[in-house]
Amino acid sequence: MVAVYPTAHNTFTRTVDASNKLTIDFARNVKDFDVNKYVQVVPVKKVAGYYTEMTIEEAGRILYTDLRDRVWYDGQPAPEGNEHKESFEFKPFECTRYTFPFMLGNLLIEQADWNILAQHASIYARAAMTARTQLALTQLTTAANYAATHVMAVAAIPGNAGTWAQSTTARQDIRRSLTTAGEIILDDTLAAISLNDLQIVISSGLAANMTQSQEIVDYIKGSPDALAQVRGELPNDNVLYGLPGKLYGFPMVVEKTRKVTTRKGATTARSSILATATPFLAARPGALVGVADAPSFSTCMIFAYEEMTVEQKNDGDNRRTAGRVVENYDVKMVAPASGVLFTGAV
């Protein structure tokens, strides 16, 4: 070390105590992940099993407008209805156990000026939620998981003239897309789905495009939120994108989760998990955690045997501490009739 003359900045040993041990970390609460808004979690007792999928016909079968086939005439035997049965299918689920491990030397833990062990547990809990988001969005954006009528190319929807990003007040491509999709879902679920149960899920990239479209600009102008829009104070989670919490009656979720797609040491590449061009409508009725033996119209469901188990073990022989976050679940599209996948939105 070169000898220097004393100043106000070099006569003491610098430590993190000077900043009250401030740690800069882009932390995000696992409860804040958007996947919780459009996917339902159902606890299961076994790692593999079946769920029951019912067809939807009998509840809405009306053959005659005057109900002549339902009349029970006085003195006649009551109709037995032997043919009136709904069909069902047992479909499998099989949970997979995932682990997000880390290893820290005990000397490192002892010498660190912050709780580095707890910080790494938090980091890998967020990694687990990012992974859960990836699996859910893979299911929800795979066209093969839907009936053909539930996959819609935006520009091919009757009446549409182009993409959502290009839509104008006169064209109404966004509104027409959502209305058409909602009608198809009502048809195929016999209106068992409430429009309030449907979430329109878009990427943050699409949100940035939509907020500049004339259709959305004029929609906001004509809404009670117009002043809040100008002030940047829209009363919802989508304020960053200048979008309302509901769009044409549909609750809107802007999926913001990013992933790193490169190995450690390589040039870092980050991307949005949800592609800009593939928004979707999905049903998520009720609370985040569903009931295993109750009917559900949630489009996508997580069968969870184990969730967010955080474990730590001190390896005394090697003077190190192993930690991990463990999850055990399966992600399934259990009610694809209650969802619609859009393609070519930009």
pLDDT per position as a tens digit, 226-276: 556 555 566 667 767 778 888 998 999 999 999 999 998 999 999 999 999
- Separation between Cα atoms, residue 273 and residue 217, nearest integer Å: 27
Q: DSSP alpha helices (H): ranges in 102-172? A: 106-111, 116-140
What 3-state DSSP class applies to 159?
coil
Long-range contacts made by residues 194-197, C-beta under 8 angstroms, separation at least 24?
Answer: 194/285, 195/249, 195/250, 196/249, 196/251, 197/283, 197/284, 197/285, 197/297
Q: What is the rounded CA–CA span in Å between residue 335 and residue 296?
A: 8
Between 192 and 180, where is the model more confident? 180
The predicted pLDDT at position 22 comes to: 40
Q: Is residue 104 part of a domain?
A: yes
Q: Cα 63 vs. chain centroid, distance in angstroms?
A: 39
Count: domains in the chain: 1
Region 38-58: mean pLDDT is 89
Cα dihedral 22→28→29→31 (10° resolution): 170
Residue 119 lies in a domain: yes
Least Cα distance to 219 among 201, 184, 245 occurs for 245
Residue 29 placed within a domain: yes
The answer as to whether 11 is a domain residue is no
Sequence length of the chain is 346
Which band of pLDDT confidence, cut at 50, 70 and 90, is reported for residue 28? Answer: very low
* 73 falls within a domain: no
176/293 Cα distance (integer angstroms): 36
Rg (CA), the chain: 27
Report if residue 179 sits inside a domain. yes
Measured CA to CA, the distance from residue 127 to residue 100 in angstroms comes to 7
CA 76 to chain centroid:
55
The whole-model pTM stands at 0.84
Whether residue 286 is contained in a domain is answered as yes
The pLDDT-based confidence of 288 (bands split at 50, 70, 90) is low
Nearest-10 crossing angle of helices 214-221, 173-188: 80
pLDDT digits 0-9 by tens, 207-219: 999 989 999 988 8
Q: Which pLDDT band holds residue 56 (cuts at 50, 70, 90)?
A: confident
Give the CATH number, domain containing residue 109.
3.90.1690.10
Token pair for residue 232? 């940047």
Instruction: Tell me the residue range of the domain where 223 lies.
Output: 23-57+85-343
DSSP state for residue 289 in the 8-state scheme: B
Question: What is the residue whose two structure tokens read 């035997």?
Answer: 77
Strand partners, 311: 324
